[in-house]
A and B are shown apart, each in its own frame.
Chain A
Amino acid sequence: MKEVNGLERKISEGKRPILAYYHPPATVDLAPVQMAADLLKVADAVVVADNPGAVVHMHPLVAASVFLEKGIDTVLELECRDKNRLALQSEILGALALKIRNFLCMTGEHQTQGPQPEAKGVYDLSPVHLIQLMKIIEQGELLDGFRLGEVPSIFIGAMVNPFARPVELHFFKLLKKIKAGAKFLITTPIFALEEFKEFIKELKQRGFLEKTKVFATIMPIKSADIARVVSKDPSVHLPERICARIESVPEQNQAQEGINICVEIMKELKEMEEVSGFHIMAPHWCEVVPLLIERVGLR
């Protein structure tokens, strides 16, 4: 019997783990990671991003090791954009050796959307294949059949956009992710609760919730300017009324208003038993994580 992963165990015990999203710094020293660790230790696990936005950051495995040293669990993001199957497998082995047990499989933003658009995109595997690859490794093998010996149980995650349309098309993709072995899903940021509830209903009807857990993503918005930038990202559904609400308050109060919005959303999400945990997405605003946890009364 394989040892049950910490995050997975917490969920099975009915606790609602809190994930904090983290961008490793673009530095050659670990001091910023150590500072962030002090703020993020209130979370159950830190999601360590892998070159988010196709922008170069420190290798996520290195940043994750700092969190692990301080006793903070991590979820390692793996993007298919920059790494082929060889690199992905070696990274997974390294992560397992460091006792990382949670992985988030994704494609990543396209390289042309970052500041180094001339880079060659890899895209050897798609996220569903990456999930399948993780399952193979969990069973103690590499893709070429090489036997690894004992491999611990892995908590495999994937991303989902509850607001993507057409719904049916996106559910086909989700079905494949779950069939491949995704045990948890992290949503894109939630601002539109009614639509999110519809999505959960659909998940339930299709029986997906028996196979996978949902982490609801909360994205605190610090200012009206940031709201405008976020609203241009097609993968984030930020309703106009939220932008307007942040804009309606004076600049010095906008951050506070952003937090208020999140608190309201989180309180509603807390009432939904289908939400197994939270994912606070504030990579440049770590201080907000302990604040939100306290205000929503999650501890």
Chain B
Amino acid sequence: MIVAERKPIREILKMIEDYQKILILGCRACVTACAAGGQKDVEIMGSIIRIDRKRRGLPVEVYEKTIDRQCDPLFFAPIDNLITKSEVVLSMACGVGVNMLAETYPNKVVLPALNTGFMGLLEEQGVWAERCIGCGDCILAETAGICPLSRCPKHSLDGPCLGSINGKCVVYPENQCVWYVIYERLKTLKQLDKMERILPFKDWSKTVSPRRVIREDLRL
């Protein structure tokens, strides 16, 4: 999933300062799973905004809505009225959702309530961790399904650095060294010979923005 987290409240309140009719728009996809922008988070955000305005004696009208996905304009149609009557949409989706809104509604101010982080998974309750950098050229077949690029702060493609001691990362000692994890797993899989292989130079051109996937067979 795409992992995001709420921006600091002060930053959000400052962004919406000049607006009175605010639509807080949640997304039921990734940001619901990482507890950042789902229905519950939308309700909390609405409550916070109302408390703030009440405290300062300023008027506000907050609409709260959560849709299935914000990265597909299909899901905007049923709430088109709501978007139209709001002065501003405070999107609680990932950056993609914010972009989609902005591209779909040229005349509407769209603001992000989240900071979008990475592609990752739930490591333990309340802890999400990166597992893929989207390098466009997957090497997981070589590394026992464990990604060294997303889990090594130095993006090491060739093994542990000198500071990796007893399986601990030198930069983030609370983490395991990803090359230790790879090594242990390859051992279990009886594929340790893969540890001896020098991987080719990474082709970073596959990560150059803006990236696109084009499927001619599907194009109209």
Contacts and interface: CB of A to CB of B under 8 A. Distances in A.
Q: Does chain A touch chain B in the assembled complex, meaning CB atoms less than 8 Å apart?
A: yes
Interface of A: 80-81, 85, 107, 110, 112-113, 121, 123-129, 132, 143, 159-161, 163-166, 168-170, 172-173, 175-177, 179-180, 188, 233-235
Query: Sorted from nearest, which 10 A-B pairs have the closest CB atoms?
Result: A173-B159, A128-B158, A235-B163, A123-B155, A172-B195, A161-B162, A126-B158, A110-B171, A126-B157, A235-B162
B158 A159 contact: no
Given A175-B196, A176-B159, 20 more contacts: A85-B201, A107-B154, A107-B156, A107-B161, A110-B154, A113-B171, A123-B156, A124-B202, A128-B158, A128-B198, A129-B201, A143-B201, A166-B167, A169-B183, A170-B164, A176-B196, A177-B158, A180-B198, A234-B163, A234-B165
B31 to A, nearest CB: 26
B198 A188 contact: no
B8 to A, nearest CB: 18
B201 A121 contact: no
A184 to B, nearest CB: 16
B175 to A, nearest CB: 12
B173 interface: yes
Nearest to B161: A107
B108 interface: no
Given A166-B166, A172-B183, A234-B173, A110 B153 contact: yes
Nearest to A133: B201
B168 A132 contact: no
A121 B168 CA distance: 21
A112 B158 contact: no
B183 to A, nearest CB: 5
A121 B154 contact: yes
Q: Is the interface of B mostly helix, strand, loop or mixed?
A: loop
B63 interface: no
B188 to A, nearest CB: 14
Nearest to A159: B162
B170 interface: yes
Nearest to A112: B171
11 contacts: A113-B171, A121-B155, A128-B157, A165-B166, A166-B183, A170-B160, A172-B192, A177-B158, A179-B198, A233-B163, A234-B170
Contacts of A180: 198
Contacts of B165: 163-165, 234-235
Q: Which of A85, A129, A168 has the most CB of B within 10 A?
A: A129
A132 B158 CA distance: 12
A216 B202 CA distance: 32
Interface of B: 153-168, 170-171, 173, 179-180, 183, 192, 195-196, 198, 201-202, 204
A176 B195 CA distance: 9
A172 B159 contact: yes
B167 A127 contact: no
A143 B205 CA distance: 15
Nearest to A129: B201
Nearest to A172: B195
A107 B155 CA distance: 10
Contacts of B198: 128-129, 132, 176, 179-180
Contact of A169 (B154, B168, B180): B180
A188 B167 contact: no
Contact of A112 (B153, B155, B161, B167): B153
A121 B161 CA distance: 15
Contacts of B159: 128, 169-170, 172-173, 176
B196 A172 contact: yes
A179 B164 CA distance: 21
Nearest to A237: B165
A176 B194 CA distance: 11
Contacts of B158: 126-129, 173, 176-177
Contacts of A175: 196
B171 A126 contact: no
A162 B204 CA distance: 32
A44 to B, nearest CB: 24
Contacts of A126: 154-158
B160 A173 contact: yes
A183 B179 CA distance: 24
